């Protein structure tokens, strides 16, 4: 089987089901790399009826021979990571293959406090953050004022690194937000203890990746969140604080673009969004409730109810462009099983004009009204389909239309949460690039 290094990204606003698809593709991967985001991302995997919810650890950890790397582009809450490690150990899962970049930045307790306080202060202008401290962690990283994993391994170095930032953050917490200051000795003791437990997993991540590449290993790069939440290319300011797009894999993992062979996008058969911000195809009332309830649309990280809407082909085409997608995985097709009619957004109307591109202005985006194509539903269960020919003709027609609209073939169709509820049209990693379901 030929070498292939693949990036898996979310083609919408996150929550597309990347965890399941990454888990599926990890069977062909020797190394899985998480390259950005933090505990604001979450993915749920169902294996043999066992539901696993992970935020930092790649789902490839379920395969004993797969090395899982958390790259430098991530921000790590060590308390959460250790909690996930303990959960996996209790389930008898081997975690010796988990590796953590020594240069990844650490989410500290003041990051969480500031994130929550700033979001509350925004009032009606809130962004809808998870309150997990991700933005402030990345801000400190950019300001060259952050704490890295390597700093947790030496108590004296941690004390020296924390002296300035902690004094500054305590002043902010007290003066601006009226909160109690953090005790420096308590913070040092807590995070040094995290460092002791994490030490066996800490590596030079970039070196490990390039060594794997030299040894002709298959590497899978896993993005968190989704394209429309990208800091530079998403619906700013209602975005995350990192780069979930495929190009972020190069920065967050420390590799050049020539190492990437394929990019696979994951999209739901409809669209969801968590938090604030414009959402042209958002539904209200019974249809929204139907999609939310059938799709179990509640955030893995926050438990918040997701906003649901019809599939948006405009943002889909945009995701294809900015990520350079080779193929798609369409998830949750089964959620549409009971509908007699399905709408697909093919363009927007903005101030009386039809547009087929994603506007760069969030104000313009908020004024966009969807232009729909109506398609018949299939009103029969797809949950037990395991081959394309098992799908109802209307479901096949829907998938072919999405492939035509997005101008990219579909390689995988997911019909439920379990591993086996999946149709793999063609090997999306090693198969011919265009020998897939297309228009």
Q: What integer pLDDT is reported at residue 439 of this predicted model?
A: 46
What sign results for the dihedral spanned by CA atoms 15, 24, 232, 350?
A: negative
SS3 123: helix
DSSP state of 295: T
Q: Cα separation of 160 and 81, whole Å? A: 24
Mean pLDDT of 285-298: 91
Q: Cα separation of 162 and 264, whole Å? A: 40
The percent of residues above 90 in pLDDT, for the chain, comes to 77
Mean pLDDT of 348-376: 96
State the catalytic residues.
Answer: 15, 43
What sign results for the dihedral spanned by CA atoms 298, 301, 307, 310?
A: negative
Name the nearest CA neighbour of 279 among 365, 353, 204, 221: 365
Measured between alpha carbons, how far is residue 276 from residues 13, 38, 273 in Å? Answer: 11, 19, 8
pLDDT in tens, 73-93: 999 999 999 999 999 999 898
Q: What integer pLDDT is reported at residue 403 of this predicted model?
A: 95
pLDDT in tens, 83-130: 999 999 998 989 999 999 999 999 999 999 998 988 888 877 777 777
Q: What integer pLDDT is reported at residue 432 of this predicted model?
A: 52
Helix or strand holding residue 28 (H, E):
none
Q: Cα separation of 109 and 77, whole Å? A: 9
pLDDT at position 1 over 50: no
- Phi-psi group of 123: left, alpha or beta (phi > 0 → left; psi -120 to 50 → alpha; rest → beta): left
Per-residue confidence at 431, pLDDT binned at 50, 70, 90?
low
Between 426 and 191, the higher pLDDT residue: 191
Measured between alpha carbons, how far is residue 10 from residues 18, 100, 222 in Å? Answer: 7, 23, 9
The answer to whether the beta carbons of residues 135 and 275 sit under 8 Å apart is no
pLDDT in tens, 392-410: 999 999 999 999 999 999 9
Per-residue confidence at 2, pLDDT binned at 50, 70, 90?
very low
**Dihedral Cα 424, 428, 430, 434, nearest 10 deg:** 110
Residues forming a β-bridge with 349: 354, 369
Q: Cα separation of 262 and 324, whole Å? A: 9
Helix crossing, 78-90 with 184-198: angle to 10°? Answer: 40
SS3 314: helix
What sign results for the dihedral spanned by CA atoms 413, 419, 425, 426?
A: positive
Structure tokens at 322: 């900015």
Per-residue confidence at 419, pLDDT binned at 50, 70, 90?
confident
pLDDT in tens, 324-343: 999 999 999 999 999 999 99
SS3 258: helix
CA-atom Rg of the chain in angstroms: 22
- Name the pairing type of β-strands 353-355 and 341-350: antiparallel
Give the number of residues written for the chain.
439
Mean pLDDT of 423-432: 70
CA angle 49, 54, 59 (to 5 degrees): 75
Per-residue confidence at 368, pLDDT binned at 50, 70, 90?
very high
The answer to whether the beta carbons of residues 263 and 235 sit under 8 Å apart is no
pLDDT at position 435 over 50: no
Q: Cα separation of 58 and 327, whole Å? A: 21
pLDDT in tens, 239-272: 999 999 999 999 999 999 999 999 999 999 999 9
Mean pLDDT of 336-361: 96
Structure tokens at 49: 């009826």
Round the average pLDDT of the chain to a whole number and report it.
Answer: 91
SS3 98: strand
CA angle 303, 60, 407 (to 5 degrees): 80
Q: Cα separation of 263 and 326, whole Å? A: 6
Task: State the burial class of residue 245 (Cβ atoms within 10 Å of its Cβ: 0-12, 13-18, 19+).
Answer: buried
Q: What integer pLDDT is reported at residue 437 of this predicted model?
A: 55
């Amino acid at each position: 089987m030929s070498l292939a290094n693949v990036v898996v990204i979310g083609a919408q606003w996150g929550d597309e089901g990347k965890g399941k698809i990454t888990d599926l593709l990890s069977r062909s991967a020797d190394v899985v790399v998480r390259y950005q985001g933090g505990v604001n991302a979450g993915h749920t995997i169902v294996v043999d009826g066992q539901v696993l919810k992970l935020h930092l650890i790649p789902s490839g950890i379920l395969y004993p021979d797969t090395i899982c790397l958390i790259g430098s582009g991530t921000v790590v809450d060590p308390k959460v990571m250790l909690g996930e490690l303990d959960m996996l150990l209790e389930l008898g899962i081997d975690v010796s293959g988990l590796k953590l970049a020594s240069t990844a930045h650490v989410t500290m307790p003041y990051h969480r406090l500031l994130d929550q306080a700033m979001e509350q202060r925004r009032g009606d202008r809130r962004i809808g953050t998870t309150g997990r401290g991700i933005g402030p962690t990345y801000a400190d990283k950019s300001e060259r004022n952050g704490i890295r994993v390597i700093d947790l391994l030496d108590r004296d170095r941690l004390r020296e690194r924390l002296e300035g930032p902690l004094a500054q953050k305590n002043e902010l917490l007290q003066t601006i937000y009226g909160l109690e200051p953090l005790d420096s000795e308590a913070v040092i003791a807590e995070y040094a203890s995290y460092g002791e437990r994490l030490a066996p997993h800490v590596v030079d991540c970039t070196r490990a990746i390039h060594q794997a590449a030299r040894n002709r290993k298959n590497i899978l790069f896993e993005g968190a969140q989704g394209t429309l939440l990208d800091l530079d290319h998403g619906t700013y300011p209602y975005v995350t604080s990192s780069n979930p797009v495929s190009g972020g894999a190069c920065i967050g993992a420390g590799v050049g673009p020539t190492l990437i062979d394929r990019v696979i996008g994951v999209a739901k058969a409809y669209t969801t969004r968590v938090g604030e911000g414009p959402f042209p195809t958002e539904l209200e009332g019974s249809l929204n409730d139907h999609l939310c309830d059938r799709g179990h649309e509640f955030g893995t990280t926050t438990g918040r109810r997701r906003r649901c809407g019809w599939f948006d082909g405009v943002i889909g085409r945009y995701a294809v462009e900015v990520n350079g997608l080779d193929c798609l995985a369409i998830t949750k097709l089964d959620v549409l099983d009971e509908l007699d009619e399905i709408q697909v957004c093919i363009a927007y109307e903005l101030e009386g004009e039809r547009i087929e591109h994603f506007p760069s202005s969030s104000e313009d985006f908020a004024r966009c009204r969807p232009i729909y194509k109506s398609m018949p539903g299939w009103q029969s269960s797809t949950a037990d389909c395991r081959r394309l020919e098992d799908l109802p003709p209307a479901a096949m027609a829907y998938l072919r239309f999405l492939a035509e609209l997005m101008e990219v073939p579909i390689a995988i169709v997911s019909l439920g949460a379990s591993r086996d509820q999946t149709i793999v049209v063609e090997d999306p990693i090693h198969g011919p690039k265009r020998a897939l379901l297309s228009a």
